[in-house]
Structure 1
Amino acid sequence: KAVSVAQFGSEQNSLLGLNSMSTPGLGDEKSVNTLIQAAKSREVIGRVVTELNLMRLAGFSGGHPNNSKEARENAISTVSSMVRISLRKDTRLIDFNVTGADPEQVASLSNQAVLSLVAELESQKSKTMQGAVQALVAEGQRLQDKLTKSEIAMHDYKRSNQAISLDERKDLVLTKLKELGSELNHQSKERLTLETQLKACKEEQLPRDELLSLPTIASHPKVSGILTQLSNQKSALALLAERYKPKHPKYESVQAVISNQEQQLTTILADAVHMLESSCENARELERRLQEQLKKQESEALDLEQLAVQYNVLKREMESDQAVYESVLTRIKQVDVSKGMETPPIWVHQLAMVPGEPVSPNAKKVVGSSTAGGFMLGLAIIGLIVMQDRSIRSVEDARQKLRVPVLGMIANL
């Protein structure tokens, strides 16, 4: 009998479903049973048969030709009957017990059973990892193609709608829209002011000083020009008054100019209603043009907004494809890095040694069992003899067996 030992890890393994164990216990019973059944599987036993080339041995091939299907099936069946796999209580150790007539053969079978289980699990793990990598690569290629299509669609949309600098155009239009809105509000207020002043002029004759207090009248080019000239002439007259008397020719000349300018101002102010009406008309025209410009800017802003909706849809789709594609690339790199770093699900704890003595027959056990059996058999025979003995050995025996009164007893006859 030869025993080799395998140990399974406490880390979670996706292939066998072993759960993480924080204590030295066994973990999930189903997971352990799955591991034991994997050790008994045809794949593992088949590896043992192949590695040890057992099909060439008559005791395993069953007389079938070497390397035939029948010889392999018979060898697998024979090895399965020789190997007994069990879990050590309260440990993570699995014993591979093999019994047979050849000591070296049972040791080889036991060791190869452990090695084959480890190799089979590593092979399955490698296939699973390879399949995962291939799936990730295929998904990455699909996402790359999708990302390329998204980029092309976005580029075509920009070119067909002249949306190369859509954000900049949108900012400019919004800025212009705000400026026009502010200017239109200001112009509307100015028009209302002019209309109020015009209404006041039409309803009552305002004196000269009140007319000049109106900003529209005072800022009129003709009025402002006359007022400037009057101010200059009055300043000059004040200087002349310090040097000359009112009858002096220079003094009179300046007075004449001032009088003439006063008459011109009076004439201009007499037409104040016409001036206000002209200013109101100009204000209305300017307001109308501003409204047209504002509507045009609003229409352009709506068009840009419509372009931006589809543009943002394409942009979000492209960014989403880019993010998913990068995440898949990152996952592929992580899988490549972790290939050689993961802890194996099971490894060899101890290989079997060639047994030095047979486990059957056990001489000590046979002698002990025979002695105990002989003793018990002797006791049984003695008991049987005693039970079969019908001789009368005492007065009581005579009374019980003969069922007559005892008259007397002779000591020696």
Structure 2
Amino acid sequence: MSEGKDNEQHGTHLQPVSGKGHQLTVYDPSVQQFEEDDTIDLREYWRVLVKRRWTVLGVVAIVVTAALLSTLLMIPEYRSTAQVQISPQSARILEYEDFSGEGAGGGRSFQEFLTTQFEILRSRSLSEKVVEEHELADHPELAGEVQQRGLVTQARSLVGTVLGAFRGEASAAEPGQRDPVRAAAKRLRERVEIQPVRNSHLVNVSVTAFDPQLAAEAANALVQEYIESTLQRRYESGSEARQFLEGQLEDMRIALERSDQALMDFARENNVADLEERLEMSRESMRSMNDRLNEVQAELVTVTSWKSLIEQGRIDNLEPVVEDEALAELESQLVEAETEYAQLSETFLDSYPAVEKVQSRIDNLKSEIEQRKQTIVDNILGRHENLQAREQALKDSISDREQGILALNERAVQYNILKREFETNRELYDGLLQRMKEIGVAAGVQENNIAVIDQARVAAFPFSPSLPRNLALALVLGLFGGVGLALLLEFLDGSVRRVEDIERLVDRPVLGMVPLVKLKGRDGKVKKRPKRIEKLDESISHYSAVKPTSGVSESFRSLRTSLSFATPEGMPRTLMFTSAAVGEGKTTAAINLATVIAQNGQRVLLIDADLRKPRIHREFNCLRAPGLTNRIARYENTGQDNSAIHPTHTQNLFIMPAGNSTPNPAEMLSSERLARVIDGCKRAFDHVIIDAPPTLGLADALTLSRQVDGVIFVAMAGQTAKENFRVSMKRLAQVQSPVLGVVLNGVDLDSPEYAYYSSYYYSYEGDDDELGDGEGGQGRIGAS
């Protein structure tokens, strides 16, 4: 799998580490991969349920058995039901609104009204009244002398007691235990059920009891007391309303008289009769004065402009001066006189009488003109002062008139306030008086919106327990519980079980699956693994040699084929088998693979490199030494030393045991002499297969993995923990081990998880394998 494709598929949830010629990517399962398809695979859930079917069936059997025993132990219970009609309003004998608040009017919804009535039926006071009126406190059932039996009932009672003690309810229950009426009422309330009939005003009031007579009597008594208490509340509400209205009516009468007297006094003191006429006259006068003021102010603006010209000495520019006819006549005469004077001056001297006469006339005209202008100026100034005085007088009159209008308005407002108060008080008084009369009339009429439709009858058959119903419910609950437990167990199972588990953790393929083999003796029973192997066919490790046509042999031949395509050069010359921990089948897998390769005509050397717990020599019933450690120690001295290599019963298969024990296995496996030993073996054999130690907690396998062409990791189905598998693969990736893939060992073909593979392998293997007289091996391939 390429890096680009891998990252595209799994996003950022990868931990890639480069390996030899490849890149090994280990996925982190603790990070949720949102990019993956989150659709629900129903077949996966079905697989889990089939796999854990005995868990589901066991839970179902336990629950159904418990329900059966509990039902058989329970005392029969009887239920009696009385049906009543609860209408939103009473029958309207009078056309007056209900004053008791018992109806659904007044803006309240009918559902809220019904809920209120249900709570009244369940109320403590109503139950106590039923117990007292009908003397039910001494009944054995309500006195607590008769208790329901059954496992579920006892468990429910125990849980209720514990929860009550935890909430501190024990002290609250003690007074009820000392008062038999309260205790009996509490037990009665627990037996009452209120059920409305859908789309109607009908309500079923049911009571459940061991005594059918008690159930019917209590149901009828509850309904009867409920009706009587409703009527009693109506009567009490009417009396309270009448008393309240009487007090309110007297207070309102006094308030009405006071407001009426205040209105009359105010009208008399302020002459309210012609108040509107006076107010209108004042407003009309004010409008007339405003008009006159506007005229005066406009004239004053003009005269003020003339005064400004006078102050500037521009009298000749004044409009009155320019338009004055007398002044114009004088100026015309002056022009004529000056013309005549000019003509005479050309002929006569100034002392000539005619000239002097014309000069005197000119002087008189000029004097008259100046006097006329001064008269016009004086008139303008006097007019200006007069206009200013008129303006101020009009303003003062308008201000006085405004004050008068405001005073009249205040009186009108105050009068209207007093008038509205009087009218409001009169309306309230009339309303209270009308309501008072209605209550007086309604007091003698007993209206009720509740009617009994059916009385409760004594039940002929028990209501509970229902054996079919309880068993059906137990079956459903058992199925749910069993399925939930099965899914929980599957979720808590942290082991590698299927190919998909491996593919989620690492980007290396599953090269093969080795089926779980259940070896049986001639008595048909599965035998345990013998502590010491006396014959070759007693070991599961030699299954491929003993039964070459079995499904196990076929699985290793399939592994051999997969390895042939593992690299472009074909099957790697040197292979190393390792696992996460001991007991996962790496040694057995290595022996069986070496066997099928040798059966194919190729020379194979199997080396036991697990120097801490070697096992190859025991599997082939030979001595441990000389072996690998001996050859490494003597390699430089002797060069080639074939004494460490032993032939086996299988043609072309040779083994090299671990050799003598060494205090430092890791140092020996990391030495350069080991590499020369492996190179020498590669020249002498077609393939070299190395059985290495586990990866967790040891550095031996990590060191050795750098000396081989390919590493095969063995995981035991249902045993290898996913976290151990992930950590082991991560350690191999960190040292750039050439991991080719994974072999899933110990696959139980009887499990529904591997139904497809089961049909494939069984087609080759046939019946279960049998051993001879000796004890057979454990049915799991190669627990090393």
**TM-score of the superposition, structure 2-length normalised?**
0.27
Q: Greater share of strand residues, 1 or 2? A: 2
**TM-score of the superposition, structure 1-length normalised?**
0.45
More RCO (CA 8 Å, sep 6+) = 1
